[in-house]
Structure 1
Amino acid sequence: MEKPIAIVLGGTVPHVTLIKKLKDRGYHVVLVDYLDNPPAKEFADEHIQTSTLDQHRVLEIARENSASLVISTCIDQANSVCCYVAEKLNLPHPYSYKTSLDVTNKGLMKQIMADNAIPTSSYILTDSVENIDWSKVSYPAVVKPVDCNSSKGVHRVDTKEETIQRVSEALELSRTHRAIIEDYNQGEEIQVDCVSTKDGVKVVLTRQKKKIAGKGNQMVLNSIGSIFPAPLTDNLYQKAQEIAQKIASSFGLLNTPFFYQAIVTEKGIQVLEFAPRIGGGLSYYIIKELVGFDVVEAAIDSFIGKDITFCDHQLTKCYSTNLLYMIPGIFDHVEGLQELKDSGIAHDIFVMKNKGAEVDSDMRSSNRVAAFILEAQSYSKLNELERKAIESIELRDKNGKPLLNRSIYDFKTL
């Protein structure tokens, strides 16, 4: 009996786990990725080198292979292609193609949130610098393309001149040549990982982002890691749960993992954006390790139409992820990371770039070089461990030049 065919869109590192689990379920896995040698290639049965975002080509591939499943678990635009192909071929999928468009376009997403009273910041859309309605722009603000992955083109701006520059860049990055300008909310950024099940919407895990140190507006609005669980009051945690339910109801999410990012302000929680998928990077590992929920298995169940089950789990310790970025250069190796794990200081360690990888100064998620996880009994102890760990680590090029961007690390006591 021939194995069913699963088409996986995107050969990213997180999709290595997806491919392994699909093969464990008996699928023959065909990987689609435009790169010649993506990280997940060696784990797939076949690799077809083409763009995951070319929905017509992916449709052809699915038809040619009589695919039973087309799936991508942590790439926004690819998830949309999956839903498009699945609807064309009458294959199972977690939500409609229309919903996938609503959530991969930040302009559409913001409009639906506003229409459904989901608390979010004020914003405007523009397709050119000339068409910006300056009467609706207040500073500080955030500029971003409406439809890019990996935090590309997301910048804080404080002046009209900066806004013009960043909007021009965002329009170039946007596939639809549109940008969004939204109010910058002061406060702590959190991420709320959730799952929609037949028993309702559950909050799986909360995290507080550790933001970039300093005031330089040249930096993108990205984090250097997260703290688990987020230090929320009981009232704010309840509000986070209510928002999760409202998002699922507003976007028709019935059986899928999803997460949203928000700012905790003086006025409460303000949602930045959300995604009906699992997070990239270390997200799968963190959720499985800390709360015992296999979110990749849940994502597969969502795509094949099987009910997701989830059991609540409360954390008894504090944890943190710590992401290592470098100044521009060619990465060769990390020093001090393995020693952290061997000594028991680090719960686990990860190297995300291969030797010889060229990395620029843009702090998007795809430029993370390495990471480590710490655990402690309190937030203050966690902060102390983070400081000691960073002091003992260095990234270097082949000539021994130090590359770790130390200027971005500043550990606050919670």
Structure 2
Amino acid sequence: MKKVIVLGGGVDQIGLIKDLQERGYYVILIDYFSNPLAKPYANKHIQESTLDQDKVLEIAVQEKVDNIMTACTDQALLTVAYVAEKLGFHTQFSFSQAKNITNKLCMKQIMVDAGIPTAAYVNVQELEAGIGELRYPLMVKPADCNGSFGVRKVHNEVELKEGFANAIKVSRTHSAIIEEFKEGMEVSVDAFIMDGSVHILMYSLIKKKIFNDSISIIYQTLIPAPLSELAKKNMQQVLEQIADAFHLDNTPLLVQTIVKDDTVNVIEFSARIGGGLKYKTIKEKTGFDILHANVNCILGEKVTMEMNEDPRLYSRTHLYCFPSVFGQIDCPNSLISDGIIDEMSPTKTCGMEVSGATASRDRVGSFLVKAGSVEELDDRIRLVLDSIKVMDVDGKDVLYRDLYRDRFF
């Protein structure tokens, strides 16, 4: 039986593990948690960091694996490329390419050189070097972190110093990027590049909650985002520029953008499937199994694109709670049996500590709602939020309900 390493044991990697096992693979899961969500699905779990490249390489050699992969996560792509290149596995991009798409500083410079529209920025490792002609408000980001961790919006020099110090602290390379804040509609674009052609699959409007005018977290998406035909045309051109500039082919592409007056600006992107069970949403909304197609690409197998668009509106709401030790999500069975929601998916296991609502990685679960109109969608989401509870290990409801008090759309 062939062996494969899967990096990351979250809810998104469960689908990857199942796909590989259906192909006859023995799956070794690597995740630094002792009891990650995907652990029961893997053939073997090894508790190590997915970002420790040499340790993962050592495990790959010891276990005599035939390949290594991940899905729906960003920074682990670098480890995948590192191990695959060392051991001669078939993969989608080189270690050098992986560095360019996982390090925001490398990514920004290539985008600017290629003329891809993006916010003005500076690359500094010491704040004393200055911010040049950048104008407040600014966004400060660690160069190499997942899930909006360490990202801050700042309005003056005092906030900049604090945000920069935090970004440097959480960055593995102790580096950060400072860029101008762009006003507009935030749209996440899921695409698949196949044989040199970029196929846009889905546009998602991103809804965020801003805390203290500094920290913002994604709490909801609306699919499809309300874009004009001109904006879609511009988006297609931008994604083709990205594919060309970064030499990407036969891979998923997730692009975060700001759209204003049909003009597209790129925040950042990754050659991966979006997290938060995006692969499920894409399959249900478009009929295209992007997760299965991605595995085919990694293994060098043929991909077939067959689309069957669902005309309904989709929305996925992400659940956050107060600082606590997560227990479970209490969701009445009637919400699913009555067709109010399609699924409720936890993203934490019982006993995991949650630091509150500080980044996307803090979400404890999500649910998917479909409807024929915005009004119906909104009513269903409200009904769900009024009916569910997020319980800590002591049986207390810790759902951060204030996050969801306003109407959504």
TM range (shorter): over 0.9
- Structure 2: segments with no counterpart, 5+ residues: none
Mapping 1:5-24, distance limit 5 Å = 5-24=3-22
Give CA deviations for 1:17-45 in whole Å, capped at 9, x if unaligned: 11121111111222222333322222222
Tell me: CA distance 1:87–1:377, structure 2 relative to 1, closer, same or farther (3 Å).
Answer: same
1:273 CA drift (Å): 0.5
Separation in 2, partners of 1:381, 1:349: 19
Number of residue-to-residue matches in the alignment: 409
Structure 1 contact 41–47 (Cα < 8 Å) conserved? yes
Partner residue of 1:329 out of 324, 333, 340? 324
With over 3 angstroms needed to count, the CA separation of the structure-2 counterparts of 1:35 and 1:393, relative to structure 1, is closer
1:197 and 1:307 in contact (8 A); partners too: no
**Alignment deviations for residues 267-318 of structure 1 (CA, whole Å, 9 cap, x no partner):** 6111100000112221121112221221221121121122322234433111
Q: Give yes or no for contact 1:255–1:307 (8 Å, CA) kept in 2.
A: no
Aligned CA distance change for structure 1 residues 396 and 6 (closer, same or farther; 3 Å): closer
Given that 1:226 and 1:321 are in contact with CA atoms closer than 8 Å, whether structure 2 keeps it comes out as yes
Asked if 1:141 corresponds to 2:142, the answer is no
Q: In the alignment, which residue of structure 2 is the partner of 1:87?
A: 85
Q: Residue 215 of structure 1: CA displacement? A: 6.1
The equivalent of 2:117 in structure 1 is 119
Q: 1:354 to 1:53 in 2, by over 3 A?
A: closer
- Residue number among 254, 260, 274 corresponding to 2:255 in the alignment: 260
1:335 positional shift: 4.3
C-alpha spacing 1:37/1:355, structure 2 compared with 1 (3 Å): closer
Aligned to 1:50: 48
Q: 1:182-206 deviations in whole A, cap 9, x for unaligned?
A: 1111111111000010261100111
State the distance in 1 between where 2:336 and 2:85 align. Answer: 46
* Residue pair 2:8, 2:29 contacting (<8 A) in 1 also: yes
Q: 1:273 to 1:107 in 2, by over 3 A?
A: same
Instruction: Say yes or no: does 1:98 pair with 2:96.
Output: yes
Distance change (3 Å), C-alpha of 1:138 and 1:47: same
Aligned to 1:195: 192
Instruction: Confirm or deny that 1:295 pairs with 2:276.
Output: no
Task: State whether residues 144 and 172 of structure 2, in contact with CA within 8 Å, keep that contact through their aligned partners in structure 1.
Answer: yes
Change (3 A) 1:47 1:404: closer
Q: Deviations over 1:27-86 (max 9, x none)?
A: 122222233332222222222332222222222222233322111122222211111121
Q: Does the 8 Å CA contact 1:196/1:202 hold for their aligned counterparts? A: yes
Cα distance between partner residues in 1 of 2:284 and 2:166: 38
For 2:258, what is the secondary structure of its paired residue? strand
Look up the match of 2:357: 362
1:350/1:41 CA distance change after superposition, 3 Å: closer
Structure-2 separation of matches of 1:76 and 1:62? 20
Deviation for aligned residue 1:323: 1.1
1:276 aligns with 2:271: yes
303, 306, 309: which one aligns with 1:308: 303
Q: What is the distance in 2 between the residues matched to 1:238 and 1:174?
A: 36
1:173 maps onto 2:170 in alignment: yes
Paired residue for 2:368? Answer: 373
User: Which runs of structure 2 are paired with 1:17-36 in the superposition (5 Å)?
Assistant: 17-36=15-34
Matched, 1:182 2:179: yes
Deviates more, 1:5-14 or 1:403-412: 403-412
Cα distance in structure 1, aligned partners of 2:47 and 2:358: 27
Does the aligned pair in 2 maintain the 1:124–1:136 contact within 8 Å? no
Note if contact 1:141-1:182 (Cα within 8 Å) is conserved in structure 2: yes
* Deviates most, 371-380 or 316-325: 371-380
Mean Cα displacement is larger for which, 337-346 or 16-25?
337-346
Structure 1 match to 2:157: 160
- Name stretches of at least 5 consecutive residues in structure 1 with no aligned partner: none
Residue 126 (structure 2) pairs with residue 128 (structure 1): yes
Structure 2: how far apart are the matches of 1:403 and 1:182? Answer: 35
Q: Which residue of 1 aligns with 2:240?
A: 245
The two structures have a TM-score, normalised by structure 2, of 0.93
Residue aligning to 1:285: 280
Q: Give, in whole Å, the separation in 1 of the partners of 2:329 and 2:26.
A: 36
Quick one: which of 387, 392, 409 aligns to 1:392? 387
Shift of 1:400: 5.4
Q: Check whether the contact 1:383–1:411 (CA below 8 A) recurs between aligned residues.
A: no
The letter for the 2-side match of 1:156 is K
> What is the rounded CA distance, in whole Å, between the counterparts of 1:111 and 1:410 in structure 2?
40
Taking only the aligned residue pairs, the percentage that are identical comes to 37
Per-residue deviation, 1:94: 0.4
C-alpha distance in 1, partners of 2:59/2:195? Answer: 33
Amino acid across the alignment from 1:115? D
Q: 1:337 to 1:157 in 2, by over 3 A?
A: farther
C-alpha distance 9-389 of structure 1, shift in aligned 2 (>3 A)? closer
Within 1, Cα distance between the matches of 2:73 and 2:157?
33
- Deviation of 1:413 after TM superposition, in Å, equals 6.5
Give the distance between the partners of 2:211 and 2:394, measured in 1 at CA. 31
- Give 1:230's match in structure 2, choosing from 225, 228, 232: 225
Structure 2 equivalent of residue 217 of structure 1: 213
- Deviation by residue 1:111-140 (Cα, 9 ceiling, x = unmatched): 111111111111112212333x14433211
For residues 375 and 115 of structure 2, the distance between their equivalents in structure 1, rounded to whole angstroms, comes to 36
Aligned-partner SS, 2:348: coil
**Counterpart for residue 208 of structure 1:** 205
The answer to whether residue 344 in structure 2 is matched with residue 349 in structure 1 is yes
After TM superposition, give the deviation of residue 379 of structure 1 in Å.
Answer: 2.3
For 2:183 and 2:93, the matched residues in 1 are separated by 33
SS of the equivalent of 2:75 reads: helix
CA distance in 1, matches of 2:312, 2:386: 24
CA contact 1:331–1:359 (8 Å) conserved in 2: yes
Q: 1:344 to 1:110 in 2, by over 3 A?
A: same
Q: Give secondary structure in 2 for the equivalent of 1:222.
A: strand
Q: Which amino acid aligns with 2:280?
A: Y
Amino acid at match of 2:271: P
Alignment root-mean-square deviation, CA: 2.1
**Structure 1 residues 290 and 329: alpha-carbon distance in aligned structure 2, compared to 1, 3 A threshold:** same
